[in-house]
């Protein structure tokens, strides 16, 4: 009986996680941009690998509270 409860709990958590990632796919980038997972020495104003400067400036303009020091 306890094994079923544990399996159902794990299944429910997985379904909720998949639903959250489906409805909010950019949440991963928001967490990364907030500095939670990034290093403190990393320059947040310079574009990451794979992004052009124009793409990065457009991205930063969508998050003025995070990139207020980078925006002109």
41 pLDDT tier (thresholds 50, 70, 90): very low
Q: Which residue has the higher pLDDT, 48 or 32?
A: 48
pTM strictly above 0.85: no
Among 12, 72, 70, 65, which Cα is nearest to 44's? 70
Q: What is the 3-state secondary structure (H, E, C) of the chain?
A: CHHHHHHHHHHHHHHHHHHHHHHCCCHHHHHHHCCCCCCCCCCCCCCCCCCCHHHHHHHHHCCCCCCCCCCC
- pLDDT digit string, tens, across residues 6-30: 999 999 999 999 998 888 877 777 7
CB atoms within 10 A of CB 61: 12
Whether the CB-CB separation of 47 and 55 falls below 8 Å is answered with: yes
So where are the chain's domains? 1-38, 40-72
């Amino acid at each position: 009986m306890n094994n079923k409860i544990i399996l159902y709990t794990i299944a429910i958590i997985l379904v909720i996680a998949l639903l959250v990632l489906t409805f909010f796919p950019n949440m991963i980038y928001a967490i990364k941009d907030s500095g939670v997972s990034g290093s403190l020495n990393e320059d947040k104003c310079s574009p990451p690998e794979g992004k052009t400067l124009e793409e990065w400036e457009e991205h930063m303009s969508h998050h003025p509270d995070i990139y207020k020091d980078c925006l002109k």
